[in-house]
Amino acid sequence: MNDRPITPGDDRPDQDLPQEPGSGREGLSPIPAQQDKDAPQTETFSVEKQLDLSQKSYSQGQLVRRRFIRHRGAMVSLAVLIFITIFAFTSIGYGWIPGWWDKDYWRGGLNIDRGRPTLQLWPFSAGEHPFGQDNAGKDYFALTMRGTQRSLIVAFTVGLFSTILGTIIGAVAGYYRGWIESILMRITDLFIVIPALVLAAVFGKMANGGIWPLAFLLSVIGWTGLARLVRGEVLSLREREFVTAAEAIGTGSGRIIFKHILPNTIGTIIVSATLAIAATILTESALSFLGWGVRAPDTSLGLLISTYQNSFQSRPWLFWWPGMIILAIALAVNFLGDGLRDAFDPRQNRTAD
């Protein structure tokens, strides 16, 4: 097979020289090229991938899941997030379901040792008030857990609703084009140009301290980014031939959008949703800090920080505990989003054709 020189006359001996039986050369007997006879479809020389039907089949979703599970940062974040969520909900319970922590977040008491935290890492002991006590002697652990619950509820509700809203508006605008797109995208622009915090503040006032109306109103301002992203994706997907093929067999618009187009944008949607959750945690904290979000006697992480901002010098734990939890949740969700984006990234591992 080497491109080495050969003496003239010695080339292609298999054509010119007689065959030597038993020499190992006879296998090369010149068969006249049957170029126009029945196609010599020798399977051995097929460039087509041989279907290995014994191997396990992976769907796109399974491949994504595999990559996601291998992403260490995302897995750690997921564990942290699940831990915080379970901890927050089981410790003080939710609604009428009792938790394992024996103190209530609304009941004051005597301040012991200026409310200093009793948590001890080595040897580990939680003590009476692991996170300390606030001014009124309320157990700060119960308060922080309550705040975490509220923040998580708001964040996930907003994540869910703004994603649904943004996806539908973006998909409809991108698929139908024309005047529908113009109207929907101008509305989107309108929401984008008004500063989110101003809008949130107005809505926060309207929500009047309740977390469900607050969550709903935050969703109303949170969908714009996703709507634009989804519209962009849909614009490119609707030109793909599988969409044209679906149209050509008479598929209705609704089925094309929900069955053929949106499943292909799932990566963008999920990544954007996680980032929206992280952003909402911060927005909710900011709003509560400014006094337009959750109000006393109920509490949230942002509200805790705002209430005790003056105690930062004297009793720093009142600031650190809720602050660290905000940070942990926001970081975990962001890392989770990163992991998901890596898992969905089409540039990784696609078959060549």
| Site residues for other proteins per CB under 8 A | 1-6, 8, 10-15, 24-25, 27-28, 30-31, 33-42, 44-49, 51, 53, 57-60, 240-242, 244-252, 255, 259-260, 263-264, 266, 348-353
Ramachandran assignment for 28, one of left (phi > 0), alpha (psi -120 to 50 degrees), beta (any other) = alpha
CB of 246 to other proteins, least distance (A): 7
Measured CA to CA, the distance from residue 250 to residue 270 in angstroms comes to: 30
Q: Looking at the chain, how many residues does it have?
A: 353
List, in order, residues 6 or more apart from 281 with CB less than 8 Å away.
Answer: 151, 154, 155, 301, 326, 329, 330, 333
CB of 6 to other proteins, least distance (A): 5
* Residue closer to other proteins (CB basis): 53 or 193: 53
* Residue closer to other proteins (CB basis): 102 or 353: 353
The DSSP annotation for 4-19 comes to ----TT-SSHHHHSPP
CB of 35 to other proteins, least distance (A): 5
| CB 35, CB 307: distance < 8 Å | no
CB of 174 to other proteins, least distance (A): 17
CB of 215 to other proteins, least distance (A): 31
The SS3 call for residue 188 is: helix
* Residue closer to other proteins (CB basis): 57 or 314: 57
| CB 120, CB 184: distance < 8 Å | no
* Residue closer to other proteins (CB basis): 44 or 313: 44
